Amino acid sequence: MSDDRTLLNELLEKQKAGGLKPSDRYAIPPQPMPAQEASERRSNISEVAQGYTETQARLEAMRCLQCKTAPCMEGCPVRIRIKDFVTAIAEGQYGEALAIIKENSLLPAVCGRVCPQEVQCQEKCTVGKKFKDVDKAVAIGRLERFAADRAGAAPAVPQVAAPTGKKVAIIGSGPGSIVAAADTRRAGHEVTVFEAFHKPGGVMVYGIPEFRLPKAIVQQEIDVLKQMGVEIVCNFVVGRTRTVDQLMKDDGFDAVYVGVGAGLPSFMNIPGEHLIGVYSANEYLTRANLMKAYNFGKGADTPIAVSKRVAVLGGGNVAMDAARTALRLGAEKVYLVYRRSEKEMPARLEEVHHAKEEGVDFRILQNPKRILGNGDGNVAGMECLKYELGEPDSSGRRRPVPIEGSEFTLDVDTVIVAIGNGANPLIGQTTPGLELNKWGNIVVDEKCKTSLEGVYAGGDIVLGAATVILAMGQGRTAAAAINEYLASKA
């Protein structure tokens, strides 16, 4: 650590004396993210990655070449002025760094933690290209998190314009909805968020576990909405409690944003999926995260299976989260069963790495054939087949082909299915005239307007299971269109 401090001082001196050359910047070692030890963290739910120190953040920021064309910005779905905020961190101007990020992203503490930077901004970074290794790119996400965390106390409350007399309903309270609510409220409209669960925040609260995204961070953003005057109504299922039509025709809402996400789990459709001990990842994670099942009997009312041997099916972020949660809930053995090879896994590399460090047993090129019961209706094992890779399929990934006669049994008492989620169907089923595509996602134009006047949509319900940053981007686009639409009706 003191070596880092010495290096930083030397670099600051050099900068004062005439500036840093690219060779000086390339010579700065990429700063590793401090993290809880794997052996320790697998038995607690606290955040794994602990954030840069100030010295680390400034050193990492000094690795940035401040490229004229800033290719990193092109890779950012919401076009944050990356090189400017990184420069501000290098100069110790953390408040300014955060202000720059907030021009385009309302939730930097969230995005700095969960955005897939390695396939967005960092993939395009010149420094990563120079070293031919995306892991050696400037750690933009970690710096974003640093700037957000450094601000410490609650985020500033944006100003709200004078009342317009118009009412906006926001359905769902995920990241897209939070941005849509903030931006429409800023314009002076009366905004109400309707959330089906008892707690707002969407997947950031019910899906992504505490050890990756502390819930206090999401709560801070919800508190800001409340301080802006946004009303948040929980336990309110639009399509059941009230329909979109009723909100608009009877309850006086002039515009609606639908941000209900993609929370409909897919299953394998294999024998035995009805057995006790088979969960969708959504249910498993909701019990664990939202309902705090890890505290069952000690303040939490929701139980979860006490599992010893768990198989998680899938290779995405959701599968990693489920596998790592199962370890933290006390499982002795957790298998991650994936039918392609590790190269094809859609999960973020960091999540794969963390899962392995924590002891998740990766069973690649394997897939279940059926789940076995014990006669009492409980899971007692899983019969699997081995696979090999064939020709590329329509997704460009090599097709997994089962190897005949390769059956074997995994000894498990719990199976968590994490093979993807579809659109939540309720709004589509209860809103006549709302155009959906063949997967049940709401069809919108470039302004996020749906086929119905005054109704806008964004996030996973439009994009399919996507990312926090893309949902936020659509929330912003939709809010701008709603503000324009309501201004035209004035």
Ligand X SMILES: Cc1cc2nc3c(=O)[nH]c(=O)nc-3n(C[C@H](O)[C@H](O)[C@H](O)COP(=O)(O)OP(=O)(O)OC[C@H]3O[C@@H](n4cnc5c(N)ncnc54)[C@H](O)[C@@H]3O)c2cc1C
Residue numbers at the binding site for ligand X (CB under 6 A)? 114-115, 171-177, 194-197, 202-204, 207-208, 237-239, 259-261, 285, 317-318, 321, 424, 426-427, 459-461, 466-469, 471
Is 170 or 486 the residue whose CB approaches ligand X more closely?
Answer: 170
Q: Are 245 and 253 in contact (CB under 8 A)?
A: no
**Closest approach of ligand SF4 to the CB of residue 23, in Å:** 14
177 binds, among ligand X, ligand SF4, none (CB under 5 to 8 A by kind): ligand X
Is 151 or 260 the residue whose CB approaches ligand X more closely?
Answer: 260
* CA 14 from centre of chain: 40
* CA atoms 342, 345, 349, 353: torsion sign: negative
Is 83 or 142 the residue whose CB approaches ligand SF4 more closely?
Answer: 83
Residue that is written with structure tokens 């050193």 in the block: 59
72 binds, among ligand X, ligand SF4, none (CB under 5 to 8 A by kind): ligand SF4
Binder among 45, 48, 78, 138 for ligand SF4 (CB under 6 A): 138
- Print the binding letters for residues 386-425 with ligand SF4: x by CB under 6 A, - otherwise: ----------------------------------------
**Closest approach of ligand SF4 to the CB of residue 405, in Å:** 51
- Residue 105 structure tokens: 């992203």
**Closest approach of ligand X to the CB of residue 377, in Å:** 27
471 binds, among ligand X, ligand SF4, none (CB under 5 to 8 A by kind): ligand X
**Closest approach of ligand SF4 to the CB of residue 127, in Å:** 5
Binder among 127, 352, 412, 417 for ligand SF4 (CB under 6 A): 127
Q: Which residues have C-beta within 8 Å of that of residue 178, sequence separation ≥ 6?
A: 106, 107, 221, 222, 225, 472, 475
Residues 58-117 binding ligand SF4 (CB under 6 A) are 64-67, 70-72, 82-83, 86
Report the SS3 class of residue 22. Answer: helix
Is 60 or 351 the residue whose CB approaches ligand SF4 more closely?
Answer: 60
**Closest approach of ligand X to the CB of residue 211, in Å:** 12
Distance CA 235, CA 215 (A): 19
Q: Using CB atoms within 10 A of its CB, is residue 345 exposed (0-12), middle (13-18) or buried (19+)?
A: buried
426 binds, among ligand X, ligand SF4, none (CB under 5 to 8 A by kind): ligand X
Binder among 45, 111, 125, 318 for ligand SF4 (CB under 6 A): 125
430 binds ligand SF4 per the rule CB under 6 A: no
Q: Using CB atoms within 10 A of its CB, is residue 404 exposed (0-12), middle (13-18) or buried (19+)?
A: exposed
Distance CA 168, CA 74 (A): 32
Element (H, E) at 396: none
- Residue 122 structure tokens: 């960092």
126 binds, among ligand X, ligand SF4, none (CB under 5 to 8 A by kind): ligand SF4
**Separation of first and last alpha carbons in the chain:** 60
Q: Using CB atoms within 10 A of its CB, is residue 240 exposed (0-12), middle (13-18) or buried (19+)?
A: exposed
139 binds ligand SF4 per the rule CB under 6 A: no
Query: Which amino acid appears at position 361 of this protein?
Result: D
Q: What DSSP string describes 118-130?
A: GGTHHHH-HHHHH
- Residue 118 structure tokens: 């390695």
- Residue 44 structure tokens: 């607690």
Binder among 15, 36, 126, 451 for ligand SF4 (CB under 6 A): 126
**Closest approach of ligand X to the CB of residue 90, in Å:** 26
138 binds, among ligand SF4, ligand X, none (CB under 5 to 8 A by kind): ligand SF4
171 binds, among ligand X, ligand SF4, none (CB under 5 to 8 A by kind): ligand X
67 binds, among ligand SF4, ligand X, none (CB under 5 to 8 A by kind): ligand SF4
Site stretch for ligand SF4 (CB under 6 A), options 120-128, 381-389, 461-469, 470-478: 120-128
* CA atoms 19, 22, 26, 30: torsion sign: positive
Q: Which residues have C-beta within 8 Å of that of residue 227, sequence separation ≥ 6?
A: 157
Is 128 or 175 the residue whose CB approaches ligand SF4 more closely?
Answer: 128
345 binds ligand SF4 per the rule CB under 6 A: no
| Cα dist from 76 to 71, 148, 180, 316, whole Å | 9, 17, 19, 21
* CA 237 from centre of chain: 23
**Contact residues for ligand SF4 (CB under 6 A)?**
64-67, 70-72, 82-83, 86, 125-127, 138, 140
